[in-house]
Structure 1
Amino acid sequence: MCLPIDDAAMLCWLKSQKSVLEAWRNELTCRPDTTDSLIDRVEQHYNWLSDEIQRLDMPRRAA
């Protein structure tokens, strides 16, 4: 089942998720009980999402 989501809407949603990850990452650094492992996992996901957004956004920039 495919949802009728256009590329612009999808990229907007993905970018909003990136902002949420940024806020979460910043919040984790302030908590004394946060482990390095947790920060690393959030950072890894943030980096992956950033790369995917850039890859998906590239054809739109070329047009």
Structure 2
Amino acid sequence: MCLPIDDTAMLCWLKNQRAVLEAWRNELTCRPETTDTMINRVEQHYNWLSEEISRLDAPRRAA
């Protein structure tokens, strides 16, 4: 079964998740035990999420 998705609520939730990832990334850079691999993994997810948000938000901006 496919349920309709409230695009506004979904985009808000995704943007909040991106903000959490950004805060996490910033915190990781301050910790001495953090490895480059850890930072890169969070950064990759942050970048992917940012691209998805842009893709989903583009039709809304065009309207």
TM-score, length of structure 1 as denominator length: 0.93
CA RMSD, Structure 1 to Structure 2 (Å): 1.1
Alignment of 1:5-16 (within 5 A): 5-16=5-16
Q: Which runs of 5+ in 1 are unaligned?
A: none
Q: TM-score, normalised by structure 2?
A: 0.93
From the superposition, tell whether residues 3 and 17 of structure 1 become closer, same or farther in structure 2 (CA, over 3 Å). farther
| Matched residues, number | 63
Between the aligned residues of both structures, percent identity stands at 83
Moved over 2 A (4+): 1-5
Alpha-carbon separation, structure 1, partners of 2:3 and 2:33: 39
